Amino acid sequence: MSLMWQGMDVIASPRWLGPLVFHAAAKDATLCPGIGIRGVLDTSFARVPADAPGKVPTR
């Protein structure tokens, strides 16, 4: 389980655990600009215009 989702400091935790950490994976992860301010549950996003090419109608 992700340290961030558990509310743990992703830098301090591995440092404290030291040699107990023998593997770390960053698959399926991305660094998003502004996450430090808006958090991981940020719901702000750019709206897709109704006439955007390739947009699938929802109604």
Secondary structure in 3-state letters for the chain = CCCCCCCCCCCHHHHHHHHHCCCCCCCCCCCCCCHHHHCCCCCCCCCCCCCCCCCCCCC
CA distance 14 to 35: 20
Q: Supply the pTM of this predicted model.
A: 0.39
Q: What is the pLDDT of residue 1?
A: 53
- Residues 6-59 have pLDDT tens digits of 788 888 888 898 899 888 776 666 666 777 777 767 777 667 777 888 777 666
Q: What is the pLDDT of residue 16?
A: 92
Q: Other CB atoms closer than 10 Å to residue 16's CB: what's the count?
A: 11
